[in-house]
A and B are shown apart, each in its own frame.
Chain A
Amino acid sequence: MSLKKTAPMTDFVANHVRSIPRSGIRDFFEIVQSMSDVVSLGIGEPDFVTPWHIREAAIYALEKGKTGYTSNLGMPRLRKSIARYVQQNYKVEYDALSEVLVAVGVSEAMDIALRAVINPGDEVLFHSPCYVSYSPSILLAHGKPVEIPTLAEDQFKLRPEALKQKITPQSKVLILNFPTNPTGAVMTREELTEIAEICHQNDLLVITDEIYSELTYGGEHCSIASLPGMRERCIFLHGFSKAFAMTGFRIGYACAPVALIEAMMRIHQYAMLCAPIVSQEAALEALENGHGDMEYMREQYQLRRNFLLNSFKEMNIPCFNAQGAFYLFPKITHTGLNSREFAIRLLEEQKVAVVPGNAFGESGEGHVRCSYATAFDQLEIAVERIGKFVRNL
């Protein structure tokens, strides 16, 4: 039997998948992995291990033989706890049994939310620099990503005029993420009210990714879903990864009016069936008894943020006073280097990993993302090395 010359494998790959660029972070990650003795400020997850009582709840669930499927939407006990938590902390009421969906992280929740609402060619607006998945997820849902650059001089807030400029008759969805990865930007109730008005005027649906909402250092967090009339045009996404240090559990949730949850459920039930039961049990423990741990971690992040911010000040590296998440996004243009050059030279010369700002969209160029979800002794070493690096430039 003679084998015919086989076609190159890429021929099997769908066009819209082929068009998605490799993540800038992935690239950089491979360089970092090949080096030893690197102090990393490049990590987008808490450095804390999941609090013990939460891990213990997961172990207990396994011991009791909780290893099966749950209801597609998630365990009713967990959904009730989520509804209560969202009501208490975000002042938005959702019906636990019909308006809450437990997902495999906010990543899945975002994906099914987009797939549930986008018709091919619909435009999806999002502010950038932003989390790396938004644009690819929109493309995979056959939508058209429309980036709205935000600026350091506006503390990376979404300005109403900037939003208005990008709205067209095809605009359907606006994605918000405050506090923002990678900038740490936050928006106040008053600022969000202006955005909400534009959403009403232009009949936009808002998908709000609130994954960092517990981690704010200053004013109180406000969710756009809590503003008058916004509950009906919002999909509220949240999870456990950041506030409870549970990234590996892969557990998050979506809250929205019943018609939207029902639509998301249709995708979730076939793509995922349900979130893992052990993670759901752990999440329940986090919501019911994890408040103290969360407060402790928040305090620690705040101290590190102060430390890093004051250190940048000392080194004359301009950085806006980010009020949320666990990132600082200093501007490095005065060094004469671009984001990528800065990150690569800092890595090669001083073995400190930061993420080039343009990995989060072109508007991130000229900045680097520094995560302070890093043990304090590591943070001290990083600061010392960055100091040496900028002095030697």
Chain B
Amino acid sequence: MASVSGMDQQLLKLLEENALVSPETLAKQLNLSVDEVKSRIKRLEDEKVILAYKAIVDDDKADFQKVKAVIEVRITPERGGGFNRLSDRIARYPEVTSCFLMSGGYDLLVFVEGRTLKEVAMFVSEKLSTIQGVLSTATHFMLKTYKEQGVMIEQEITEERLKVSP
């Protein structure tokens, strides 16, 4: 495990909210020096505490033709490794955007993304279902996104706020 302090956690929370905040601003918010902020971020990146930085995009506005689906997968656990080896194998497909081990009626919840319905269907039937150890799949296509990673797609309107008030 990487060693993460309380200050690191505060820093991570701020970056989780907005990864583009400048080190200068972070330094002022947390009462640290700019160099200290930079070196903390660097260490957190090196230790893979911070895995990546990405933008959250409204696919409709960006006119991205994407088909997204979530697949419930039942798999056979293996002696010694449990679900890990097979889950890792499934997660490595580029079509898979997220993959979780679940409790309940199925084992893996797999999020996939493709350009067309056919592409996603092919991935499920040709690749996912044919892996040795995969017992069954149930695919649900996503129709509309309302909220993505904590961000509402339709932003709230707040412009009616008075510009000066007592």
User: Hey, which bits of chain A sit against chain B, CB under 8 A?
Assistant: 23, 25, 28-29, 32-33, 38, 40, 42-45, 47, 49, 131-133, 181, 303-304, 306-307, 310-311, 353, 355, 376, 380
A44 surroundings in chain B (CB, below 8 A): 165-166
A32 surroundings in chain B (CB, below 8 A): 163-164
Binds A, one of B26-34, B38-46, B83-91, B118-126: B26-34
CB nearest to B13 among chain A residues: A299
B28 touches A28 (CB 8 A): no
B161 surroundings in chain A (CB, below 8 A): 43, 45, 47
Instruction: Pick the 3 closest A-B CB pairs, nearest first.
Output: A42-B164, A310-B28, A29-B164
Asked whether A306 and B30 contact (CB < 8 A) given A49-B156, A380-B25, the answer is yes
Chain B facing A: main interface SS: loop
- In the assembly, what is the distance between CA of A22 and CA of B161, in Å? 22
- In the assembly, what is the distance between CA of A133 and CA of B165, in Å? 12
A43 touches B28 (CB 8 A): no
Which residue of B30, B31, B158, B164 is within 8 Å of A28 (Cβ)?
A: B164
Q: What 1/0 flags go to B1-43 for Cβ under 8 Å of A?
A: 0000000000000100010010001011111000000000000
Which residue of A42, A131, A303 is within 8 Å of B29 (Cβ)?
A: A303
The winner among A23, A25, A307 for most chain B CB atoms within 10 A is A307
CB nearest to A182 among chain B residues: B166
B165 surroundings in chain A (CB, below 8 A): 25, 29, 42-45
* B162 sits at the interface (CB 8 A): yes
B29 touches A25 (CB 8 A): no
Q: What 1/0 flags go to B58-82 for Cβ under 8 Å of A?
A: 0000000000000000000000000
Asked whether A23 and B164 contact (CB < 8 A) given A49-B156, A310-B31, A311-B28, the answer is no
B27 surroundings in chain A (CB, below 8 A): 310
B29 touches A355 (CB 8 A): no
Instruction: For the complex, count residues of B whose C-beta is within 8 A of A.
Output: 17
Q: What 1/0 flags go to B93-109 for Cβ under 8 Å of A?
A: 00000000000000000
- In the assembly, what is the distance between CA of A25 and CA of B163, in Å? 11
B31 surroundings in chain A (CB, below 8 A): 306, 310
B163 touches A38 (CB 8 A): yes
- In the assembly, what is the distance between CA of A138 and CA of B162, in Å? 26
User: Hey, which bits of chain B sit against chain A, CB under 8 A?
Assistant: 14, 18, 21, 25, 27-31, 156, 158, 161-166
- Closest chain B CB from A354 CB (angstroms): 9
CB nearest to B156 among chain A residues: A49
A303 touches B30 (CB 8 A): yes
- In the assembly, what is the distance between CA of A311 and CA of B1, in Å? 36
B163 touches A306 (CB 8 A): no
- In the assembly, what is the distance between CA of A38 and CA of B164, in Å? 11
B166 touches A25 (CB 8 A): yes
- In the assembly, what is the distance between CA of A390 and CA of B94, in Å? 52
A40 touches B164 (CB 8 A): yes
Instruction: List 8 extra interface pairs beyond A32-B164, A49-B156, CB under 8 A.
Output: A23-B166, A29-B162, A29-B165, A43-B161, A43-B163, A45-B161, A131-B166, A303-B29
B14 surroundings in chain A (CB, below 8 A): 303
A353 touches B163 (CB 8 A): yes
- In the assembly, what is the distance between CA of A43 and CA of B162, in Å? 7
Asked whether A33 and B163 contact (CB < 8 A) given A47-B158, A310-B28, the answer is yes
- In the assembly, what is the distance between CA of A32 and CA of B28, in Å? 29
- In the assembly, what is the distance between CA of A296 and CA of B133, in Å? 45
Q: What are 11 A-B pairs with beta-carbon distances under 8 A?
A: A23-B166, A29-B163, A42-B163, A43-B162, A43-B165, A49-B156, A307-B28, A307-B29, A310-B27, A353-B163, A376-B21
- In the assembly, what is the distance between CA of A355 and CA of B25, in Å? 24
A303 surroundings in chain B (CB, below 8 A): 14, 29-30
- In the assembly, what is the distance between CA of A355 and CA of B164, in Å? 8
A131 surroundings in chain B (CB, below 8 A): 166
A45 surroundings in chain B (CB, below 8 A): 161-162, 165
- In the assembly, what is the distance between CA of A104 and CA of B25, in Å? 39
- Closest chain A CB from B28 CB (angstroms): 4
B21 surroundings in chain A (CB, below 8 A): 376
A304 surroundings in chain B (CB, below 8 A): 29
B30 surroundings in chain A (CB, below 8 A): 303, 306
- Closest chain A CB from B88 CB (angstroms): 35
B158 touches A132 (CB 8 A): no
A306 touches B29 (CB 8 A): yes
B28 touches A49 (CB 8 A): no
- In the assembly, what is the distance between CA of A310 and CA of B31, in Å? 8
The winner among B18, B25, B163, B166 for most chain A CB atoms within 10 A is B166
Asked whether A43 and B158 contact (CB < 8 A) given A310-B31, A311-B28, the answer is no
CB nearest to A27 among chain B residues: B164
- Closest chain A CB from B161 CB (angstroms): 7
B29 surroundings in chain A (CB, below 8 A): 303-304, 306-307
Which residue of B28, B163, B166 is within 8 Å of A40 (Cβ)?
A: B163
B18 surroundings in chain A (CB, below 8 A): 376
A306 surroundings in chain B (CB, below 8 A): 28-31
